[in-house]
Amino acid sequence: MRQNSKAFNRHGIITLKNVGKINPESIEDFIAHDGYIAFEKALFDMNEDEVIDEVKDSGLRGRGGAGFPTGLKWSFTAPLKVKDKFIICNADEGEPGTCKDRLIMEGDPHKLIEGILIAGYAVRANKGYIYIRGEYYLSIERLGKAIKDAYKHGYLGQKILETNFSFDLEIKVGGGAYVCGEETSLIESLEGKRGLPRFKPPFPGIAGLWQKPSVVNNVETLCNIPDIISKGGEWFRSFGTKKSTGTKIFMILGNVKNPGIIELPQGVTLRELIYEHGGGMEDDKELKCTLVGGAAGCFVGPDLLDIPMTIESLSEHGAALGSGSILVLKEGTNLIALMKNLMHFFKHESCGQCTPCRYGTEKLYRLICKISDDIARNKPDVNDLNEMLETAKMMQKTSLCALGQSPLMPLESAMKYCVIDEFKKRVIK
Amino acid sequence: MHITINGKVYDAKPEQMVIEVARENGIYIPSLCYHPKIGKAGKCRVCVVEVEGIGGLQTSCTTQVSEGMKVVTNSENILEAQRMVVNLMLANGRHDCIKCEQNGDCELQDAAYYLGIENPPYQFGIIEPQIDDSAEMIQVDRSKCIECGRCVAACNNTVVNEVLEFGNRGFDTKIIFDNDLLMGESSCVQCGECVQICPVGALIDKRAIGKGRTWELDKVETVCPYCGVGCKLELHIDRKTDEIVRITGVEDSPTNEGMLCVKGRYGFDFVKSDERLTTPLIKENGKLREASWDEAITLVASKFNGIKKKFGSDAIAGLASAKVTNEENFVFQKLIRREVGTNNIDHCARL
């Protein structure tokens, strides 16, 4: 990250509000900035169902990429009469180009704890886990201290703030496998097994960790909760669009003048993100396209510059928002090389459990390598591209989890936008 | 409960998976990782079907039936997806049926036959045999393995020997023994459950190699002679030489559910051994001679009676065997207690 980044220095609205402003290692500082007020409000002034209703009312959708309504997810788990229920915070941020959760955990760890506490109270859970990727040393350290301080101040533990609500929170450090960001493999890994996805149903909300009901939420999602409770769902809805309420953290990366992380109300367009918040194209070059949502994301070209960057409007155009990372690529970028990089990523991260992904990701990588070599020799074969597309389509249809279903999206969109042109240009030459 | 498969209505039980109902009714859905004994698998992704009302393809081994469910198993969309998955399996490995022991009894071969695959259009390259020949009874060839995970599930959940596991990730995934040891150096007890459950020729009975393929062998069901459990066996017998080639457990036997121990599965040398006793022998003047059962039993009975008369019943003791059935042990203790007249009866309580 560049030090002179303007976007990086700007403060956020909800999730990034305190980041850079408060001392992340001081619970007193967090409390002085209205910390734990929302949790106390939920605990003393609201019953469990009112909390869920408020979250439903806010229209908050999961920020991990899938965009499932958070209140609805909680409402599956809340009524289950089971002794042990879990809140699992997915902090295994593995999507390439995504580092929003890290910024929150390093800059405002108590907000995450507060969000987890409110979620725990709402679904009547008594134990929480933060599954955090092993490379996030500073996040692990700061969250660890924050949890200790929260125990000392009576926000965690038995009979919190002298009520009947008890909640324990623990950090689990992951091994850095991309597939463990998938909720069921995350749970397998939490149980101490190989991180292999389970087949659904049952969904974790019904039978998750140790086959007990478990709510799995992303860091950014949970960090929206305190403000929704303290200021209300209606206030939250005042940001963003009708279907995508609130704010979203975007990571503007690549060939822009000011790359960085920024929290903006939902509905912002790609043009605004690149030319306003990102400061425009690097060296004032033309925009070729962007890769939105990381490796499992989608190429979005200049033709979609003016549509809102929300889940629903992007999906109308066959694209997806994913985690909110936006890799900006200037004219002249070698997309075949980029595709090669992406395909290597999938092949490297495939867990190997199901056939289409285990063999398919390898096949895709070998084909893109062949295409790349053939282009260098000016002899590309269009059948290889079609073969890649067919394979990725089959993988999308038959793979067990989202990893094997993912390569189609970047591949298809890349072909739609640019790879084909690039490919054809080389053929003609 | 009723479900519809390919337009026809079938009876189903509520807890059944779609593939089970299909199999019961003779509808073939190619599948490689599913086996009734290990239950839901969902790994190979070959058994996909279409279910009305649910988008996309569903694996029939993990989809539970519901009243009125409408399933299609043979649309072009399904067959195309199945073909591509099976093609990918064939692309990575030496799936050469000609000299394979599993030829004719191979579920990958069945799937390819059903889907009309002759030669896979894509190959990951020339794959060399990866044979682990270190174990006494089982040969492993990883170049034929499709990583379906049946053997791993069987070793860990069925026989609970916990030797087999998956190693590595992604394309490099392979089955390993303990901490990636050779099979012969691992803690494997050679029960052969993995061989029996392997859908392809990756795990095979070493001593059956080259001794005939499935259609050349007669199958005879019998009960294991070793111990009192009474495991049901299937002997695979070479029709020409009348020799046992291999033994497998019978899956629908309530006693052993297909499982066998190393003795039951591999200890069949004695059947045709030259050293096997076939008649009683009586020792006279330091030399053994063949005798009839009547003669031998009469001799033993008279000797026992002699001891009993001279020294009393307690001079005799009976040691029963775990190898025989409960009923036989019951009869034996009756013999010792009532006929001999002593309570000196014990049991070896081991194999």
From residue A300, how far is each of A270, A287, A414, B247 by CA, in Å? Answer: 9, 11, 8, 61
Distance from CA of A47 to the nearest CA of B (A): 36
Domain boundary among B31, B56, B74: B74
Query: Which pLDDT value is given to residue A4?
Result: 43
Q: Which residues of chain A does B43 touch, with a Cβ-Cβ cutoff of 8 Å?
A: 353-355, 400
> Closest-CA residue in chain A for B150?
A353
What is d(CA B221, CA B249) in angstroms, rounded to the nearest whole number? 9
pLDDT value at A428 more than 60: no
| Claim to verify: residue B50 and residue B33 sit in the same structural domain | yes
CATH number of the domain encompassing residue A42: 3.40.50.11540
Do A359 and B88 lie within an 8 Å CB cutoff? Answer: yes
> Closest-CA residue in chain A for B80?
A394
Q: Is A355 on the interface with B (CB under 8 A)?
A: yes
* Proportion of chain A above pLDDT 70, given as a percent: 94
Nearest to A88 by CA among A155, A186, A160: A186
Q: Is A185 on the interface with B (CB under 8 A)?
A: no
| Helix or strand (DSSP H, E) at A217 | strand A214-218
The 10s digit of each residue's pLDDT in A259-295 is 999 999 999 999 999 999 999 999 999 998 999 998 9
Lookup: tokens for A257: 């003048």
Task: List the single residue in A350, A363, A394 with the smallest CB-CB distance to B169.
Answer: A350
Do A352 and B48 lie within an 8 Å CB cutoff? Answer: no
Confidence tier at B350 by pLDDT (50, 70, 90): low
Task: Count the residues in chain B.
Answer: 351
Task: Count the residues in chain A.
Answer: 429
Query: Which pLDDT value is given to residue A423?
Result: 65
What is d(CA A395, CA A392) in angstroms, rounded to the nearest whole number? 5
Residues A271/A249, Cβ–Cβ less than 8 Å: no
Lookup: tokens for A394: 């089959």
From residue B300, how far is each of A253, B188, B304, B306 by CA, in Å? Answer: 95, 43, 6, 10
| DSSP letter for each residue of B3-33 | EEETTEEEE--TT-BHHHHHHHTT-----SS
The 10s digit of each residue's pLDDT in A209-256 is 999 999 999 999 999 999 999 999 999 999 999 999 999 999 999 999
Residue B181 falls inside a structural domain: no
| Helix or strand (DSSP H, E) at A115 | helix A109-123
Task: List the single residue in B40, B81, B170 with the smallest CB-CB distance to A394.
Answer: B81
What is d(CA B198, CA B194) in angstroms, rounded to the nearest whole number? 6
Do B88 and A350 lie within an 8 Å CB cutoff? Answer: no
- Could you give the 3-state DSSP secondary structure of residue A199? coil
Query: Which pLDDT value is given to residue A415?
Result: 82
Query: Which pLDDT value is given to residue A275?
Result: 95
Query: Which pLDDT value is given to residue B130?
Result: 94
In sequence order, the 6+-apart residues with CB closer than 8 A to the CB of A278 are: A7, A252, A256, A257, A258, A259, A260, A328
Query: Which pLDDT value is given to residue B134?
Result: 97
pLDDT value at A3 more than 60: no
Nearest to A146 by CA among A118, A120, A114, A119: A114
Predicted TM-score (pTM) of the model is 0.90
Strands B70-72 and B58-59 turn out to be unpaired
What is d(CA A309, CA A271) in angstroms, rounded to the nearest whole number? 10
Domain boundary among A206, A237, A268: A237
- Residue B340 burial (CB count, 10 A): 20
Residue B307 falls inside a structural domain: yes
Interface-testing mutation among A343, A398, A408, with chain B (most B C-beta atoms within 10 A)? A398
Do B124 and A362 lie within an 8 Å CB cutoff? Answer: yes
Domain boundary among B43, B74, B105: B74
What is d(CA B155, CA A306) in angstroms, rounded to the nearest whole number? 57
Residue B311 falls inside a structural domain: yes
Residue A242 falls inside a structural domain: no
pLDDT value at A425 more than 80: no
Task: List the single residue in B46, B81, B170 with the smallest CB-CB distance to A351.
Answer: B170
Please give the ipTM for the structure prediction: 0.88
| Claim to verify: residue B6 and residue B65 sit in the same structural domain | yes
Residue B154 falls inside a structural domain: no
Tell me the residue range of the domain where B322 lies. Answer: 285-347
| Claim to verify: residue A101 and residue A11 sit in the same structural domain | yes
| DSSP letter for each residue of A242-306 | SSSBSEEEEEEEESBSS-EEEEEETT-BHHIIIIIIS-SBGGGPPEEEEEESSTTSEEE-GGGTT
E strand map for chain B: 2-5, 8-11, 48-51, 58-59, 70-72, 131-132, 138-141, 164-167, 174-177, 203-205, 217-223, 232-238, 244-249, 281-284, 287-290, 318-320, 345-347
Do B45 and A363 lie within an 8 Å CB cutoff? Answer: no
Query: Which pLDDT value is given to residue B219?
Result: 96
| Claim to verify: residue A102 and residue A171 sit in the same structural domain | yes
With vertex at residue B339, the alpha carbon angle to CA B336 and CA B345, rounded to the nearest 5 degrees, is 10
Domain boundary among B47, B74, B101: B74
Average pLDDT over residues A317-332: 90
Placement of tokens 């929302």 in the chain: A38
What is d(CA A169, CA B92) in angstroms, rounded to the nearest whole number? 45
| Claim to verify: residue A123 and residue A259 sit in the same structural domain | no
> Closest-CA residue in chain A for B123?
A363
Which residues of chain B have a Cβ shorter than 8 Å from any chain A Cβ?
Answer: 40, 42-46, 48, 56-57, 59, 62, 80-81, 84-85, 88-89, 91-92, 122, 124, 146-147, 149, 166, 168-173
Residues A207/A187, Cβ–Cβ less than 8 Å: no
| Claim to verify: residue A304 and residue A343 sit in the same structural domain | no
Query: Which pLDDT value is given to residue A201?
Result: 86
Average pLDDT over residues B118-144: 92
Domain count, chain B: 3
| Claim to verify: residue A218 and residue A124 sit in the same structural domain | yes
Do B45 and A366 lie within an 8 Å CB cutoff? Answer: no
Do A352 and B173 lie within an 8 Å CB cutoff? Answer: yes
In sequence order, the 6+-apart residues with CB closer than 8 A to the CB of B103 are: B97, B109, B201, B213, B214
Residue B82 falls inside a structural domain: no
| Claim to verify: residue A293 and residue A375 sit in the same structural domain | no
| Claim to verify: residue A43 and residue A157 sit in the same structural domain | yes
The 10s digit of each residue's pLDDT in B134-176 is 999 999 999 999 999 999 999 999 999 999 999 999 999 999 9
Distance from CA of A398 to the nearest CA of B (A): 6
Domain count, chain A: 3
Task: List the single residue in B44, B59, B171 with the smallest CB-CB distance to A347.
Answer: B171
> Poorest-confidence range of A37-46, A372-381, B43-52, B247-256?
A372-381
Q: Is A11 on the interface with B (CB under 8 A)?
A: no
pLDDT value at A429 more than 50: no
Strands A127-132 and B70-72 turn out to be unpaired
| Claim to verify: residue A149 and residue A285 sit in the same structural domain | no
Distance from CA of B78 to the nearest CA of A (A): 10
Do B124 and A354 lie within an 8 Å CB cutoff? Answer: no
Tell me the residue range of the domain where A103 lies. Answer: 6-237
| Claim to verify: residue B7 and residue B70 sit in the same structural domain | yes
The 10s digit of each residue's pLDDT in A345-398 is 999 999 999 999 999 999 999 999 998 898 888 788 888 888 999 999 999 999
The 10s digit of each residue's pLDDT in A147-184 is 999 999 999 999 999 999 999 999 999 998 999 999 99
Residue A361 falls inside a structural domain: yes
The 10s digit of each residue's pLDDT in B15-29 is 999 999 999 999 999
| DSSP letter for each residue of A373-399 | HHHHTT---HHHHHHHHHHHHHHHHH-
Do B149 and A353 lie within an 8 Å CB cutoff? Answer: yes
Query: Which amino acid belongs to residue A55?
Result: V
Q: Which residues of chain B does A399 touch, with a Cβ-Cβ cutoff of 8 Å?
A: 45
- Angle, helix A100-107 to helix A109-123, in steps of 10 degrees: 100
Lookup: tokens for A250: 């975007």
Residues A214/A187, Cβ–Cβ less than 8 Å: yes
Confidence tier at A333 by pLDDT (50, 70, 90): confident
Average pLDDT, chain A: 91
CATH number of the domain encompassing residue B11: 3.10.20.740
Domain boundary among A176, A203, A237: A237
In A59-108, alpha helices (H):
70-77, 100-107
Residue A290 falls inside a structural domain: yes
| Claim to verify: residue A345 and residue A274 sit in the same structural domain | no
In sequence order, the 6+-apart residues with CB closer than 8 A to the CB of B140 are: B131, B132, B133, B175, B183, B202, B203
Query: Which pLDDT value is given to residue A227?
Result: 96
pLDDT value at B244 more than 90: yes
Average pLDDT over residues B280-287: 94
Residue B27 falls inside a structural domain: yes
Which sign, positive or negative, has the C-alpha torsion A216, A218, A221, A223? positive
Task: List the single residue in A199, A347, A398 with the smallest CB-CB distance to B85.
Answer: A398
Domain boundary among A275, A308, A330: A330
Strands A325-330 and A247-254 turn out to be parallel
Task: List the single residue in B80, B81, B92 with the smallest CB-CB distance to A359.
Answer: B92
Do A363 and B48 lie within an 8 Å CB cutoff? Answer: no
| Claim to verify: residue A76 and residue A195 sit in the same structural domain | yes
| Claim to verify: residue A217 and residue A258 sit in the same structural domain | no
Task: List the single residue in B42, B91, B173 with the smallest CB-CB distance to A400.
Answer: B42
Confidence tier at A426 by pLDDT (50, 70, 90): low
CATH number of the domain encompassing residue A386: 1.20.1440.230
What is d(CA A424, CA A419) in angstroms, rounded to the nearest whole number? 8
| Claim to verify: residue A150 and residue A32 sit in the same structural domain | yes
Whether omega before A202 lies within 30 degrees of 0, making that bond cis, reads yes
Residue A186 falls inside a structural domain: yes
